[in-house]
Each structure stands twice: as structure tokens, then as C-alpha cells.
Structure 1
Amino acid sequence: MKVLKLIGFIALLVIIFKRPYAHSPHFTPVNHAKTIPTHVIKALPKETEKPLHGIDVSHFQGEIDFLEVEKSGVHFVYLKATEGTRFVDPTYMKHIEAIKQTQLQHGAYHFFQPSLDAKQQAEFFVKTIKQQSHLLPPMLDVEVSQGMSSDAIKAGVKVWLDYVQAELKCRPILYSYGDFWRDNLGTEFTQYKFWLAEYSKTLKKPDSLSNVNLWQYSDKGRIPGIEGKVDMDVMFKREGVCNA
């Protein structure tokens, strides 16, 4: 009888530890701030309270295990959705389906081509992402001029931002480098949160750029779930939730 009881007890332990939720990251809260490098934490604005760690990805990252990404301490992910007027990132839909199996906050971005019609680009982006229920605001990546003047770039960016905001009922975020912002965007877009790409140990930004809320501090990050290098980001203050 004692042997049978022992066997029963062992079987119970096996059942408990084999249940799906026993190893689920959803039941293992992560202190995301601890995964952000110390030099990044030190460089953040003084008013930052609970910075969030994130990544942005495209087809260049190939296959991604988002469950592993989530367990590593990453809190949010931005996915490249579109570029120009015709290109849909070939991994976008696959990544969307995978990321929805996690608790990662997610958003989508468009790579802007200033030489192409801005409204057509905006329409293409909205059509691509509208049914995907992204939680984070849409983002416009503006980092190439394609020979266009700063005035033409500003005009096109404004058209894109206005259209996307009207359609998705969510104010987009602008992404660029400090030099590109200074030369081609400037203070006309201060009502939009800015995502600054600055690969250094300190947060170097133009003096008049006051609306930075995200910092892409590295393009050579390494995290579980992604084989190659990945862009690493930190969000100073939690963005408002959208539902595209």
C-alpha cells in the first residue's frame, strides 16, 4: 500500500510540473528595467520612472521565437509592415500571428520614401495593418532623402501623418536620426512623439528636439529568440494604447 501511495504522489508531481502554465512566461513576471543596459538607464531623462525595453524587427531578422523574446525581458516590439507604395515586409503577417501568442505590446511601422506619393504610402500602410489590432501607435521611419528637398520631405511627412492619424484614430510616432531631423524635419512636428536613433552610450539629441520618448540605442543587440543582430530600444514613458 505504501508503494502505491508513493507511486501516486510521484505521478501527481509529474502532472503538476508538466502542465502548460508551469513554465509559461505569463506566470513569471519579469522586471523589464533590469534587462536594459546600465549605461542606457543612466542616460535616460531624470523624469523617467519605469523604462520599457523593446526591439524593432523586419525580414532581416528572419525567424523569431517571440516566446523566447518575451522571456528575455523585452516588453514591446515594433514590426516593419510596409515601405513605399508596394512593399509589404514578407515576415510581417507571420510575425503578427506569432506575437499575438505572447503578452508583448506591439506596433507597426512604415519606411517612408520621400520620392513617392505620400498619400498613397499612407493608404497602403493603413490597408496593410488596419485589421491587426496593434496596441502601440503606428510609427513613420523617415531617414532617407532620395534627393528630395527638406520642404518636400516635410510636406510628404505631414500628409502621411495626417492621413494615418485620421484613419486609425491614433497619433503616429516619428523615427529618425538627430542629423536627419535637424536637416529635414525640424520643429514643425513637435506635437508628435519622437523615436531617436542614436548609437552611443549617451543620449545625444539636437537641443530643440524635446519630444523624444523612445531611444534606439543599438543596432547590434543580441537576445534569445533571434539568431542575428537586432535593434535595441527603450521607451521612457509608456505610450498610450491604440487599436488599429
Structure 2
Amino acid sequence: MEEATQTNTLTTFSPAGYEVIGLDISHHQRQVDWKAVKAQKIKFTFIKATEGITHQDRYFSKHWRQAKKHDVLRGAYHFFLPARDAESQARNFLKQVKLEAGDLPPVLDVEVTNHQSDEEIRAGVQLWLDMVEEEYDLKPIIYTNYSFYEEHLAGHFDDYPLWIAHYNPQKSHQLADRKWVFWQHTEKGRIKGVKGNLDLNVFNGTMEDLYNMCYEPEAL
């Protein structure tokens, strides 16, 4: 793993040495000018689809269609609530998200405990991951932040791709013994085509590596 060697400010720095950059969005970003986004060499986007057992993001389908139309690799994520039934949460996600060939793997966003024990959190996470993997025959990605990972998930789920949120370069975004696949390095990014601050990410690999992660349905 290469160290992030940054001299920029703590809140808005751009990691050096990563050629594949992307963003993630939800209903907070109502309007996205995908043409402008694409022109800034944004290669991928993760879009919030669902949360808990009933909530669907109201801008998901619009963002989902538009990203594809403008040839930005797209992925969908579910915000996990550990206190709610994990099977119902997986069904909520699968009902909303229909992956097509070339889409990124599904993502489970795990960053709150809902006052559940680590064992309960991990059991629910595993159930969601299993159901979604069974549907698509593709290992989902786990998104979490640095401290939540260290406190609740470290040593578990090591065979799933990890997308880590970590905004303080002074403390290094590296985990003790895990490699991350995606790194959300700021929540205060600014790009043309999207109003306000947004999350920016880098992919730990080449475009070819990213394409190789994508969904390929079994031929009928």
C-alpha cells in the first residue's frame, strides 16, 4: 500500500497516485449534470438505493438511469440499520436494484450500531451479504468508516471488498492488515455539475481492474 503523501489541508485533499476517481450520491444531490461530471474524468458513482426495510431513496432511479446513459460506471448501496430485520433489508434492496451487465457490485453501508452488540451487527451484515450474493453471484462491497471498522468489523468479512471512509490523512487511511478497494477521502469535495459538497472516492487499481469487478450475468 502506498502512503498518502499530502500537503493539502486536512479537509480537502486529493490523494496522489490514483488514476480512477469517482463519487457517491443520494437524495442530497438532486440534480447532477452527468455530462459535466464525466468531463472531469469521474469514472464511477455509487448511488444510494435503500435504507432499512422500507425506505427507498427518491432520486435513485433517476440517478441510476442517468449514470448509465452517460457511461459512468454505477453501483447501488443500501444503508444498513442493525436493529431492523436483515432479511427484510436485503429484500428491500433487491426489489429496488436490478443490476445489468457492467454494473459495480452492490454495497452495504454499515456505519451505525443502533445499540446492537457486535455479534448482532455482524450476524445481520452476514445475512444481508449472503442474500444479495446469492441473487447476483457477486460478492457485495462493505462500506464503513475507519473507526467503525476498527471497533466492530476488524477481523471479520475479510473476503469482501472494502470501501473505507477516512478523511484525516495525518492518521493514514491504511488499516492494519486489510487492503481497501475504494477510499472515500473527503465529504467536502466540489466538482462541476453537482451543487454543494459531496463525497469523492478513489479506486485502488486500474480501470481494467474496476471493469473486472463488475457484474456479468450468467449466459442463459
- The answer to whether the Cα contact below 8 Å between 2:99 and 2:215 also exists between their aligned partners in 1 is no
- The answer to whether the Cα contact below 8 Å between 2:22 and 2:45 also exists between their aligned partners in 1 is yes
Structure 2 residue ranges without an equivalent (≥5): 1-11
* Match among 156, 166, 174 for residue 198 of structure 1: 166
- The answer to whether the Cα contact below 8 Å between 1:130 and 1:168 also exists between their aligned partners in 2 is no
User: Which one has a bigger Cα radius of gyration?
Assistant: 1
1:153 aligns with 2:121: yes
Question: Where do residues 83-162 of structure 1 align in structure 2 (5 Å cutoff)?
Answer: 83-130=51-98, 135-162=103-130
1:57 aligns with 2:30: no
1:242 aligns with 2:212: no
- Secondary structure, in 3 states, of the residue corresponding to 1:216? strand
Normalising by structure 2, we get a TM-score of 0.85
Question: Where do residues 176-191 of structure 1 align in structure 2 (5 Å cutoff)?
Answer: 176-191=144-159
Amino acid at match of 1:135: D
Identity of aligned residues (%): 34
- Secondary structure, in 3 states, of the residue corresponding to 2:164? strand
Per-residue CA deviation, residues 51-102 of structure 1 (Å, 9 max, x unaligned), is 3100000001121111111011111000000000111100001111211221
- Secondary structure, in 3 states, of the residue corresponding to 2:16? helix
How has the CA–CA distance of structure 1 residues 104 and 71 changed in structure 2, closer, same or farther, with 3 Å as cutoff? same
- Secondary structure, in 3 states, of the residue corresponding to 2:112? coil
- The answer to whether the Cα contact below 8 Å between 1:54 and 1:234 also exists between their aligned partners in 2 is yes
- Secondary structure, in 3 states, of the residue corresponding to 2:114? coil
The equivalent residue for 2:190 is: 222
- Secondary structure, in 3 states, of the residue corresponding to 2:194? coil
Structure possessing the higher relative contact order (Cα contacts under 8 Å, 6 or more residues apart): 2
Amino acid at match of 1:206: L
Normalising by structure 1, we get a TM-score of 0.77
How has the CA–CA distance of structure 1 residues 39 and 221 changed in structure 2, closer, same or farther, with 3 Å as cutoff? closer
| Alignment RMSD | 1.8
Structure 1 residue ranges without an equivalent (≥5): 1-36, 43-49
- The answer to whether the Cα contact below 8 Å between 1:216 and 1:234 also exists between their aligned partners in 2 is yes
- Count how many residue pairs are aligned between Structure 1 and Structure 2: 200
How has the CA–CA distance of structure 1 residues 219 and 180 changed in structure 2, closer, same or farther, with 3 Å as cutoff? same
How has the CA–CA distance of structure 1 residues 85 and 243 changed in structure 2, closer, same or farther, with 3 Å as cutoff? farther
